[in-house]
Structure 1
Amino acid sequence: MNEQPRDVTLPSISDYYSFTQLRADRWSALREVAESMSADGIEGRRGDRLIARAEELFDSLAPIEIYWAFPGRIAFEHLRKMLDQRNIPELSTSLRRVARALTSGAFRRRSIPLVGGDTDLDDFEDEATLPPEARALGRPYFEVLVVDQLTEHQERFLRNNLQRVRRSEDQFIYEPVFVPSLEDALIGILFNHNVQAVIVRPGLVLKSKNNLPMIKQYLKRLSDDTDVDGLQPNEYGPEACRLIAKVRPELDAYLITDRSAEDIAGLDLGRCRRVFYNQEDFLELHLNVLRGVNRRYKTPFFTALKEYSKQPTGVFHAMPISRGKSISRSHWIQDMGDFYGPNIFLAETSATSGGLDSLLEPRGPIKEAQELAARAFGAKQTFFGTNGTSTSNKIVVQALVRPGDIVLVDRDCHKSHHYGMVLAGAHVAYMDSYPLHEYSMYGAVPISEIKHTLLKMKAAGKLDKVRMVLLTSSTFDGLVYNVRRVMEECLAIKKDLVFLWDEAWFAFARFGPTYRQRTAMGVANDLRETLRTEECARAWNEQQEALEGADDETLIKTRLVPPPDARVRVYATQSTHKTLTSLRQGSMIHVNDMDFKGEVEQAFHEAYMTHTSTSPNYQIIASLDVGRRQVELEGFEFVQRQVESAMAIRRAVMTHPVLKKYFRVLTPKDMIPEQYRESGVTAYYDAHEGWSDKQEIWATDEFVLDPTRVTLAVGGTGWDGDTFKTKVLMDRYGIQINKTSRNSVLFMTNIGTTRSSVAYLIEVLVEIANGLDDLLDDASLMERRSFDNRVKALIEDVPPLPDFSRFHEAFRSGRDTPEGDIREAFFLAYDETNCDYLSLDDNLMTRLVDGEELVSASFIIPYPPGFPILVPGQVISHEILSFMRALDVSEIHGYRPDLGLRVFTPEALNKLVHKKKT
């Protein structure tokens, strides 16, 4: 007997975070209802309820199903007619095939008959479970969105002509989807991740007949800079191409028009690949569509590496493992060859052996692969890194910063930046992020703090020495800057300022429309266009007049406008391996610098040569090439699903009655103070009000929370974050995470996260919560008191986070500004006679409270939380010492318990101060 569907009201569209989730669940529910009708019949009240449920499901699918090629509008209408005619047996069979084909992806590989046919076709293998070699042999499938208001006869004519020009030698296969309007085109590319190309025809109209609130909100923001309602019909096609490029710049668009070439030539057509005039040539159109997709599918280095591996080669260079010879001839390491397979060894070679390309001096496939990556990520130049983003950060810093340059640095950024400052000889001005004392983590640096530091430099006559602003976006915990606002306001103070954005955790952001507006490369490209406009020049001139003679307080409170002659100089480093498909240590450096060619290129090349191995791992380079291909073709889909997974976790924890007792998902309200949330939105999801408008939050707020990061407060369990991570999640359930604070753990979804893995996580959390319920039910009074004390210690008795104190005068060039020579302090500590060790005891605290000045000789990094609380040359405050003593963490990098805290001796400091004075 089939399991009976529950007689409950279907969740509404507003209950779902995305239409892809709704669509999948609706088809699955429709299949279950049809199977129940087939098994139990449709007579009586029970049958009436089943019929009503099926009709309701069809109604909910109708407005969104037109945007997909499978099963398609015609097939969908046929299925509905089966229900109207009460042809339940055939309906059940057809719905089972549709649901399974959608779940398995079988429609990508073969035609799925909805009626009749072999019943063996009802069992479809999940595409993801097929062997890689089987999937690699198939032709990749995609869909083409055709935008035109067509009759059924015209649609059939176009479909038949596009099918007629297909050839067996085509590299890809596609199916068309027809929509009538510009708005439907935007809805289609947002909903349907299979779309890789859009054909815009002259018969399209402006408005969609679908009244979907979510898309209406998004369309409103898209048209903020364009009077869409005021467009003339002959402008619909070019505007559609422009807006498609704005929403999904990776897609190819093709415009078919009857306007003259002169009219079209001067228009902004976005990423339009080609314009066809009047009557289209279907074969030419077909070939252009395939060529456009192949342009993104191309992987020059990976392809070259595969071809190299097939060549018979005699190895007479310094790599015994090349071609696998040292393994195949061995009697003792055959298990390694069995584990990895032969291809990885066949593809091992050296840049000096010929046949491929050099990462240090690329002229062939590596150069081409980097150019394709630059196009994909919106950069002017892109460079591959094979030593991780730690090395990429040092390359950029060393290329741009000269000894004595002042760099404004986010104090709790990754330690590689601090070491990079040492190597470059920068004078570092650390800026404090706002603290989140309750959760033992830092937020991000407010724009007021950045402007305050810049204005202080200006007042001291040092603005010409300020070279760079270095910030982390997104932070490990998912806090994202308003990148445009930061760069605009800083450029208003110093128009040639360089920006380095550490986007180690943000490589995926380019491929989500909401995220893209806060990426370094996206904003850099927008600024290049904005600064050239008359509106920018007028706004700057007007503000200059209004602010003439204004004091610093006024300037800090005012949203500053950059001058039209400001230079756009932006760099971003990304850990491709952290959020996209790449082998470990695969990284990219993206450059969007107007002065790169004239000022930086040679220095960058030298820094790149300094830090990049002469024997880079070719497999890492190949994975970067393939990872770029993936995100250009399916990054939009994967990022969308990644966000959906994180939102599902949020909703489950916030609504489950048992989970709410011990866990709490931290919301934007918890992690971003009110003054930085201009939208006023406090959470992405509310159990009573549903989902918030994420578009509004990301468009307005100074800081936003990346929804793919789910920080779970676990203090209510009585376990600290590190214990919960290792002893509970990992040891008991095999769930891996790597970021904790004193009372929280961070769950990061990624492009590989599945709904099954989300379901398992929720199941585990429920089991843990139920276990705590059972434990406390049987606890004695003393045991309960012990539990409550542990919870109180984790939630209430949390040590306050210390701010950066200051650099000692021995490492400063004056008292008016905060920068310090971190390099000088770092190398001063190389001489052990300049250092001493002090125990973290009450005596040391007394000395600090009494005013004695002690200076750190090394980096001190407690983990967790994982940020440096002391750097070389920094004065140790009693707040910092209190924080260190209160921490109950597994390790403190740079601190030796057997010796104590490493500090400079007074003699070493006095000698340095005297030397500077003389």
Structure 2
Amino acid sequence: MRFQFPIIVIDEDFRSENSSGFGIRSLVTAIEAEGMEVLGVTSYGDLTSFVQQQSRASCYILSIDDDEFSEANQEETLTRLRAFVAELRFRNADIPIFLYGETRTSHHLPNDILREMHGFIHMFEDTPEFIARYVVREARAYLDNLAPPFFRALVHYASDGSYSWHCPGHSGGVAFLKSPVGHMFHQFFGENMLRADVCNAVDELGQLLDHTGPIAASERNAARISHADHLFFVTNGTSTSNKIVWNSTVAPGDIVVVDRNCHKSILHSIIMTGAIPIFLMPTRNNFGIIGPIPRSEFDWENIQQKIAQNPFITDKGAKPRVLTITQSTYDGVLYNVEEIKDALDGKIDTLHFDEAWLPHAAFHDFYGDYHAIGEGRVRCKESLVFSTQSTHKLLAGISQASQILVQDSESRQLDKDLFNEAYLMHTSTSPQYAIIASCDVAAAMMEPPGGTALVEESITEAMEFRRAMRKVDEEWGSDWWFKVWGPDHIAEEGMGEREDWMLRAGDNWHGFGDLAEGFNMLDPIKATIVTPGLDLDGNFDDWGIPAAILTKYLSEHGIIVEKCGLYSFFIMFTIGITKGRWNTLVTELQQFKDCYDSNSPLWRCMPEFLAKNKHYEGWGLRDLCNAIHNVYAQHDVARLTTEMYLSTMVPAMRPGEAWAKMAHREVERVDIEELEGRITAMLVTPYPPGIPLLIPGERFNRTIVNYLRFARTFNEQFPGFETDCHGLVKEMKDGKARYCVDCVKD
């Protein structure tokens, strides 16, 4: 299989009719005769933009001929050359770089430039054919070493042309070619993806299930890059990674300490393992943004007190088996992991950090102690440390690509054979090899310096977006605009300092109260855009723009956001975000403002939404915003949702026992009006924000019931903006909607 990686020549005489031009074009002809593509340009142009194209090149040839090194131009040429090489090496330590000229030698160049070179070409001293073979050899050696182990083996297998008699049944895509619709599928996804979709019986690709062959080599390579002691690829997402970690260490009746702001996969793990949870409660502001768990919640005395108060724990002195913390929160709040390790090492058997949204942090010093496993992380004396990461969320994995990282303690190593029993319990015997390859490649992409550069660029782009939004705000003056949630002070250029992003007690911007010094920071690549209408104290303005309306508008205009709250929405600056993408968001927000200010009719500004919701025929955009805003204010919904999540959740049964009632159908469907005091058999999860509110075995309180009443009323008034609540069942009876939850029978 041939990959397209041209050799790039930069020479101002590339198209000139002089001896230098003839010489370089002769070399290009000889290189092309060796089967390599050549791209010739006459100047560096914008250095940063040009160097960002290095991912598509196999080699650079840079001219330092006599004209460019004339007495008048030499200093300028050296400065330009030095800057270009520095930018290139910032991203790529290995790509070959050659210098060439007619009379100049290494004697004329400073050592800081020379040491980055792979060779020095003197035109006319050797034949173009000889020089071409020399350059092509280096370019091909570079390309041969690019692919990590599993991806290299998969490419080789898919290119081999072997007939396969194993599953999957499409046999390398051939089955699709026998059907018209299959032909469409084949054309859309392409030959390579289908040839690479193979069975786990292919010996030369190794085994994901027992971690052998090229797959094992790639897991070891990813562990080296991530500075982990062990690393395992997972093809079913971090939901599955979390369950693997739990099943490897938790048994029925074990005590577990869990962030109440956890992903539902952790709650599923509690149910499946039969564990008894002790919850650490996070803070929350009235924007609906979930904040950090206070530092005091991690004090061992506080955890012991929670254990003592739990009615289902008989052995109050038993050591908890696992601590699971959401790192980072969905809105980007991070914990100082070293402080947590210091506080709980040896007191809890396993420290598990759900870093689904933080796999990038290990590859840049900006994040310091605010991630679990990486270079410089202190090893616990007794506790094992796990990090589960969604490679597909913030690195370059494809959907469902995930990985489990492990750091051994000083006194204990992971028993990989026992761990693999839990791994086998949750891993398909027919894994998708494209997902494995993307785990492999995503890890290889983060090898320094390339990975460091990618993370730095994402932080820088996020900072540029924040500065652009503030600039627009300043230019609007007293008129309204959107805010980006974050510290009051940000750097005027570049990334700024880690200290700029710390959450401090007394700061008004975050709304989380009295936080411990140095314990939390905000990840700048997570941006929450706040719309007008609500302040941090939960007070509603006379007018406002509910975020649900704005995000539907943006969706119709080609912008899909990650998460939406009452008066905020969330976007992420991953390593794939571009200037064009975030600048387009800024301009679309401007367009929305114009439509709102003019009360543009919905048929003009949101025609797709109106076509599905004729209820709003004749409404303007501002009319719609005012109607929903007034209902929010009438029900004081910001304070209601804040109080709901911070209210006391009373455990009446073990989660696993309550789930067993559901499995045995010993449940009944209870109307909202009769829910208070009843025990839920289901997870109850409102969207937004998508955080589980109640878990099986807990009782409904009055605050939660009031919220469900509001959701029922709101859904009836505003079709198209329904508040989705997983676990809340809508039934139609005599033409009327009835909202219920499955509860344990009394």
- Offset from partner CA, 1:658-680 (integer Å, 9 cap, x none): 49844443434xxxxxxxxxxxx
| Counterpart amino acid of residue 747 in structure 1 | I
Correspondence for 1:721 among 547, 561, 575: 547
3-state SS of the aligned residue for 1:322? Answer: coil
Is 1:712 paired with 2:529?
yes
Moved more, 98-107 or 499-508: 98-107
Query: Distance in 2 between the 1:715 and 1:355 partners?
Result: 58
Q: Give the CA deviation at 1:830.
A: 2.2
Question: Where does residue 37 of structure 2 map in the other structure?
Answer: none
Is 1:637 paired with 2:442?
no
Q: Give the CA deviation at 1:837.
A: 2.4
Q: Give the CA deviation at 1:151.
A: 11
Correspondence for 1:693 among 477, 483, 497: 497
- Offset from partner CA, 1:770-810 (integer Å, 9 cap, x none): 22233399xxxx9989865754655775224222533444x
Is 1:768 paired with 2:592?
yes
Question: Where does residue 723 of structure 2 map in the other structure?
Answer: 890
- Offset from partner CA, 1:112-149 (integer Å, 9 cap, x none): 679979xxxxxxxxxxxxxxxxxxxx9973689xxxxx
Q: Are the counterparts in 2 of residues 720 and 742 from structure 1 also a CA contact under 8 Å? A: yes
Q: Would the alpha carbon gap of residues 659 and 706 (structure 1) be closer, same or farther in structure 2, given more than 3 Å must change?
A: farther
Query: Distance in 2 between the 1:332 and 1:786 partners?
Result: 42
Correspondence for 1:316 among 138, 147, 165: 165
Correspondence for 2:156 among 304, 307, 314: 307
Query: Distance in 1 between the 2:326 and 2:97 partners?
Result: 37
Is 1:464 paired with 2:318?
yes
- Offset from partner CA, 1:142-162 (integer Å, 9 cap, x none): 689xxxxx9977639955996
Q: Are the counterparts in 1 of residues 596 and 622 from structure 2 also a CA contact under 8 Å? A: no
Q: Are the counterparts in 2 of residues 432 and 804 from structure 1 also a CA contact under 8 Å? A: no
Q: Are the counterparts in 2 of residues 722 and 740 from structure 1 also a CA contact under 8 Å? A: yes
Correspondence for 1:325 among 174, 177, 183: 174
3-state SS of the aligned residue for 1:865? Answer: coil
3-state SS of the aligned residue for 2:446? Answer: helix
| Counterpart amino acid of residue 750 in structure 1 | T
Question: Where does residue 168 of structure 1 map in the other structure?
Answer: 135
Correspondence for 1:98 among 21, 35, 44: 44
Question: Where does residue 111 of structure 1 map in the other structure?
Answer: 62
Root-mean-square deviation (Å): 3.8
Query: Distance in 2 between the 1:477 and 1:665 partners?
Result: 15
Q: Give the CA deviation at 1:496.
A: 4.8
Query: Distance in 2 between the 1:159 and 1:686 partners?
Result: 34
Over the matched positions of the two proteins, sequence identity in percent amounts to 26
Correspondence for 2:425 among 598, 604, 610: 610
Query: Distance in 2 between the 1:388 and 1:159 partners?
Result: 43
Q: Are the counterparts in 1 of residues 469 and 483 from structure 2 also a CA contact under 8 Å? A: yes
Is 1:901 paired with 2:726?
no
Question: Where does residue 489 of structure 1 map in the other structure?
Answer: 343
Q: Are the counterparts in 2 of residues 474 and 481 from structure 1 also a CA contact under 8 Å? A: yes
Correspondence for 2:668 among 816, 831, 836: 836
Question: Where does residue 740 of structure 1 map in the other structure?
Answer: 564
3-state SS of the aligned residue for 1:504? Answer: coil
Counterparts in 2 of 1:229-244, with a 5 A limit? none
| Counterpart amino acid of residue 135 in structure 2 | S
Correspondence for 2:377 among 526, 542, 548: 526
Query: Distance in 2 between the 1:496 and 1:413 partners?
Result: 18
3-state SS of the aligned residue for 1:382? Answer: strand
Question: Where does residue 111 of structure 2 map in the other structure?
Answer: 155
Correspondence for 2:287 among 425, 439, 446: 439
Query: Distance in 1 between the 2:477 and 2:386 partners?
Result: 42
Q: Would the alpha carbon gap of residues 157 and 765 (structure 1) be closer, same or farther in structure 2, given more than 3 Å must change?
A: closer
| Counterpart amino acid of residue 596 in structure 2 | L
Is 1:345 paired with 2:194?
yes
Query: Distance in 1 between the 2:384 and 2:479 partners?
Result: 49
3-state SS of the aligned residue for 1:886? Answer: helix
Question: Where does residue 250 of structure 2 map in the other structure?
Answer: 401
Query: Distance in 2 between the 1:377 and 1:396 partners?
Result: 18
Q: Would the alpha carbon gap of residues 787 and 698 (structure 1) be closer, same or farther in structure 2, given more than 3 Å must change?
A: closer
Query: Distance in 1 between the 2:691 and 2:426 partners?
Result: 24
Q: Would the alpha carbon gap of residues 793 and 315 (structure 1) be closer, same or farther in structure 2, given more than 3 Å must change?
A: same
Q: Give the CA deviation at 1:445.
A: 1.4
Question: Where does residue 331 of structure 2 map in the other structure?
Answer: 477
Correspondence for 2:405 among 557, 569, 590: 590
| Counterpart amino acid of residue 864 in structure 1 | P
- Offset from partner CA, 1:404-427 (integer Å, 9 cap, x none): 111111112111110011111111
Q: Would the alpha carbon gap of residues 616 and 662 (structure 1) be closer, same or farther in structure 2, given more than 3 Å must change?
A: farther
Question: Where does residue 193 of structure 1 map in the other structure?
Answer: none
Is 1:806 paired with 2:660?
no
TM-score (norm 1): 0.59
Q: Give the CA deviation at 1:367.
A: 0.2
Query: Distance in 2 between the 1:871 and 1:863 partners?
Result: 15
Q: Would the alpha carbon gap of residues 154 and 575 (structure 1) be closer, same or farther in structure 2, given more than 3 Å must change?
A: closer
Query: Distance in 1 between the 2:490 and 2:342 partners?
Result: 31
| Counterpart amino acid of residue 584 in structure 2 | Y
| Counterpart amino acid of residue 726 in structure 2 | H
Question: Where does residue 84 of structure 2 map in the other structure?
Answer: none
Q: Would the alpha carbon gap of residues 143 and 744 (structure 1) be closer, same or farther in structure 2, given more than 3 Å must change?
A: farther
Correspondence for 1:510 among 356, 362, 369: 362
Query: Distance in 1 between the 2:600 and 2:147 partners?
Result: 59
Q: Give the CA deviation at 1:904.
A: 3.8
Query: Distance in 1 between the 2:362 and 2:687 partners?
Result: 31
Query: Distance in 1 between the 2:367 and 2:413 partners?
Result: 31
Question: Where does residue 651 of structure 1 map in the other structure?
Answer: 467
Query: Distance in 1 between the 2:166 and 2:372 partners?
Result: 42
3-state SS of the aligned residue for 2:668? Answer: strand
Question: Where does residue 16 of structure 2 map in the other structure?
Answer: none
Aligned residues between the structures = 594
Moved more, 645-654 or 366-375: 645-654
Query: Distance in 2 between the 1:312 and 1:151 partners?
Result: 51
Q: Would the alpha carbon gap of residues 337 and 162 (structure 1) be closer, same or farther in structure 2, given more than 3 Å must change?
A: closer
Larger helix proportion of the pair? 1
Counterparts in 2 of 1:571-590, with a 5 A limit? 571-590=386-405
Query: Distance in 1 between the 2:411 and 2:661 partners?
Result: 34
Q: Are the counterparts in 2 of residues 482 and 702 from structure 1 also a CA contact under 8 Å? A: yes
Query: Distance in 2 between the 1:298 and 1:690 partners?
Result: 32
Q: Are the counterparts in 2 of residues 584 and 620 from structure 1 also a CA contact under 8 Å? A: yes
Q: Give the CA deviation at 1:822.
A: 1.1
3-state SS of the aligned residue for 1:355? Answer: helix
Query: Distance in 2 between the 1:892 and 1:155 partners?
Result: 64
| Counterpart amino acid of residue 526 in structure 1 | R
| Counterpart amino acid of residue 97 in structure 1 | S
- Offset from partner CA, 1:296-332 (integer Å, 9 cap, x none): x441111101111122322222322222221234454
Query: Distance in 1 between the 2:202 and 2:494 partners?
Result: 60
Query: Distance in 1 between the 2:627 and 2:432 partners?
Result: 52
TM-score (norm 2): 0.72
| Counterpart amino acid of residue 601 in structure 1 | K
Name structure 2 gaps, 5 residues minimum.
1-9, 12-40, 69-91, 99-105, 122-130, 310-314, 504-516, 534-542, 602-619, 715-721, 732-737
Query: Distance in 1 between the 2:65 and 2:48 partners?
Result: 13
Q: Give the CA deviation at 1:646.
A: 1.3
Query: Distance in 2 between the 1:102 and 1:783 partners?
Result: 42
Query: Distance in 1 between the 2:489 and 2:595 partners?
Result: 29
Query: Distance in 1 between the 2:582 and 2:432 partners?
Result: 34
3-state SS of the aligned residue for 1:902? Answer: strand
Correspondence for 2:655 among 802, 805, 822: 822
Is 1:667 paired with 2:485?
yes
Q: Give the CA deviation at 1:641.
A: 1.3
Correspondence for 2:703 among 865, 879, 883: 879
Q: Are the counterparts in 1 of residues 238 and 390 from structure 2 also a CA contact under 8 Å? A: yes
Query: Distance in 2 between the 1:690 and 1:520 partners?
Result: 26
